[in-house]
Structure 1
Amino acid sequence: MKVYRISQTKYAYDRKGSGIDGRWNSLGQYVIYTGGSLALSCLEKVVHSVGTSLYTGNFSVVIIDIPDNVAIKEITLKQLVKLDENWHKVINYPYTQQLGDTWLQKAETAVLKVPSAIIDMEYNYLLNPAHPDYDKIKITSVSKFTFDPRLKAQ
């Protein structure tokens, strides 16, 4: 399976993650966020970035291959809605961070499939750099990526 990550070019080959807190991890928990499609990865980057940074940054798209023999754990939309129907709101990050941190700490799988908070019918894939199967997950290509200025006002 191919997944996509858009990042600053200087971090394109980073396989550890930044440890910065996000929807699915708290501060100090290392994870790589990827999208199930290039379009979803683009939307995720757009909503989490200031407009001008999208056009002044030097971005690349990283295509990553997750082999079929790497197990994937899934958190379903149904599970999240049962936890809180507004799971996607920023105020509820503690709920999703706890789920992600628990997954990271238990190290059951190298990959966690989660619904996108932007388009809940699409999925993001989180990669756990500390999992033994992580070494099976490979970067297959890195290419320059430019955001269309119509995506977000400058």
Structure 2
Amino acid sequence: MTVYRLTHAEYADNLKASGVSNRWNRAEQYVIYTSGSISLCALELLAHTNGIRPKGTFKVMHIDIPTSINIATIASEKLPLNWHLLASYPITQKLGSDWYEEMNSLMMKIPSAIIPSESNYIVNVKHPAFNEKIRLVKVEDFFWDHRFPTD
């Protein structure tokens, strides 16, 4: 399986995580957020910038995930009604944090907060199998369409 990460060019040469908290992880938990498609990556990033085209040079990272690994899954129907709202971060962060700390799987499949029928994938870079199983196989240029506004 291939998952994708859209990032600034200066971060696209390796699989590192910042440890910054986000929807599915707490601070100092080192995970990489990826998506099942390049278009979902772009949409997720635009959501974080209020629809404003991000500045800078971007790259798409193609990350190979072996089909043999166990992937934990959180289905949207198992989540509270408003799980996608900012106010629900404590709920989703607890779910992701518990998964991270248990170390039972290298990856977790989660619904997109923007398109819940599509999936994002979180990769735990501190999992013992990370260096052996997860591979960055290709990096491509990504160009934002000029019709997206800039600030």
| TM bucket normalised to smaller | over 0.9
Contact 2:53–2:150 (Cα < 8 Å) also in 1: no
How far apart, CA to CA, are the structure 1 residues paired with 2:16 and 2:86? 25
The residue that corresponds to 1:96 in the other structure is 92
* Alpha-carbon offset, residue 20 of structure 1: 1.0
* Alpha-carbon offset, residue 153 of structure 1: 5.1
* Alpha-carbon offset, residue 149 of structure 1: 2.9
The residue that corresponds to 1:69 in the other structure is 68
Aligned residues: 150
- SS at structure 1 position matched to 2:109: strand
How far apart, CA to CA, are the structure 2 residues paired with 1:143 and 1:75? 30
TM-score normalized by structure 1?
Answer: 0.91
Judging changes above 3 Å, is the alpha-carbon distance between structure 1 residues 76 and 16 closer, same or farther for their aligned structure 2 residues? Answer: same
- The answer to whether residue 37 in structure 2 is matched with residue 37 in structure 1 is yes
**Structural RMSD (CA):** 1.5
**Equivalent of residue 139 in structure 1, options 131, 136, 139:** 136
How far apart, CA to CA, are the structure 2 residues paired with 1:101 and 1:91? 17
Deviation digits for residues 22-48 of structure 1, max 9, x if unmatched? Answer: 100111111000000111011001111
The residue that corresponds to 1:105 in the other structure is 101
Contact 1:70–1:133 (Cα < 8 Å) also in 2: no
Contact 1:35–1:124 (Cα < 8 Å) also in 2: yes
The residue that corresponds to 2:22 in the other structure is 22
Give the partner amino acid of 2:102: K
* Alpha-carbon offset, residue 51 of structure 1: 5.6
